[in-house]
Amino acid sequence: MKTYQVNENGYYGEFGGAYIPEILHRCVTELKETYLQTLESESFRREYEELLRDYVGRPSPLYLARRLSGKYGCRIYLKREDLNHTGAHKINNTVGQILLARRMGKTRIIAETGAGQHGVATATVCALMNMECIVYMGKTDVERQYANVQKMEMLGASVIPVTSGNRTLKDATNEAIRDWCCHPSDTYYIIGSTVGPHPYPDMVARLQSVISEEIKKQLTEKEGRDYPDYLIACVGGGSNAAGSIYHYIDDERVKIVLAEAGGKGIHSGMSAATIHLGKRGIIHGARTLVMQNEDGQIEEPYSISAGLDYPGIGPMHANLSENKRAGILSINDEEALSAAFELTRLEGIIPALESAHALGVLNKIQFKTNDVIVLTLSGRGDKDMNTYIESNNKNKTENNNSNNIV
Ligand SMILES: *Cc1c(COP(=O)(O)O)cnc(C)c1O
E-assigned strands of 17-64?
62-64
Q: Which amino acid is at 5?
A: Q
Q: How confident is the model at residue 166 (pLDDT cuts 50, 70, 90)?
A: confident
**Mean pLDDT across 249-253:** 98
400: CA distance to ligand 1 center in Å?
35
Q: What is the pLDDT of residues 52-104, one digit of tens each?
A: 999 999 999 999 999 999 999 999 999 999 999 999 999 999 999 999 999 99
Residue 365's pLDDT is 98
Q: What is the pLDDT of residues 171-200, one digit of tens each?
A: 999 999 999 999 999 999 999 999 999 999
Q: How confident is the model at residue 402 (pLDDT cuts 50, 70, 90)?
A: low
Distance separating alpha carbons of residues 150 and 130, to the nearest angstrom: 19
Distance separating alpha carbons of residues 383 and 388, to the nearest angstrom: 10
Whether the CB of 238 sits within 6 Å of ligand 1: yes
Total-model pTM: 0.97
CB distance 112 to 175 below 8 Å: yes
Q: Identify any residues that bridge with 158 across adjacent strands, giving them in sequence order.
A: 134
Residue-averaged pLDDT of the chain: 96
Residue 209 backbone zone (phi > 0: left; psi -120 to 50: alpha; other: beta): alpha
Determine the number of helices (DSSP H) and then strands (DSSP E) in the chain. Answer: 16, 14
CB distance 188 to 97 below 8 Å: yes
Distance separating alpha carbons of residues 345 and 150, to the nearest angstrom: 31
Distance separating alpha carbons of residues 76 and 68, to the nearest angstrom: 7
Mutate to test the pocket of ligand 1, among 81, 193, 258, 303 (most ligand atoms within 8 A of CB): 193
Has 322 been annotated as catalytic?
Answer: no
E-assigned strands of 92-214?
108-113, 132-138, 158-162, 187-189
Question: Which element (helix H / strand E) includes 44?
Answer: helix 42-51
CB distance 257 to 317 below 8 Å: no
Mutate to test the pocket of ligand 1, among 206, 235, 310, 378 (most ligand atoms within 8 A of CB): 378
Distance separating alpha carbons of residues 376 and 389, to the nearest angstrom: 24
Q: Which residue intervals of 164-277 are DSSP H helices?
A: 169-182, 200-208, 210-223, 239-245, 274-277
CB distance 344 to 314 below 8 Å: no
Has 378 been annotated as catalytic?
Answer: yes
Has 81 been annotated as catalytic?
Answer: no
Residue 406's pLDDT is 42
335: CA distance to ligand 1 center in Å?
18
Q: Which residue intervals of 253-405 are DSSP H helices?
A: 274-277, 315-322, 333-347, 353-359, 385-405
Q: Which amino acid is at 278?
A: G
Sign of the torsion formed by the C-alpha atoms of 36, 38, 40 and 45? negative
Q: How confident is the model at residue 3 (pLDDT cuts 50, 70, 90)?
A: very high
The candidate with the shortest Cα–Cα distance to 244, out of 227, 232, 226, is 232
Residue 396's pLDDT is 82
Q: What is the pLDDT of residues 114-149, one digit of tens each?
A: 989 999 999 999 999 999 999 999 999 999 889 999
286: CA distance to ligand 1 center in Å?
19
Q: What is the pLDDT of residues 256-310, one digit of tens each?
A: 999 999 999 999 999 999 999 999 999 999 999 999 999 999 999 999 998 898 9
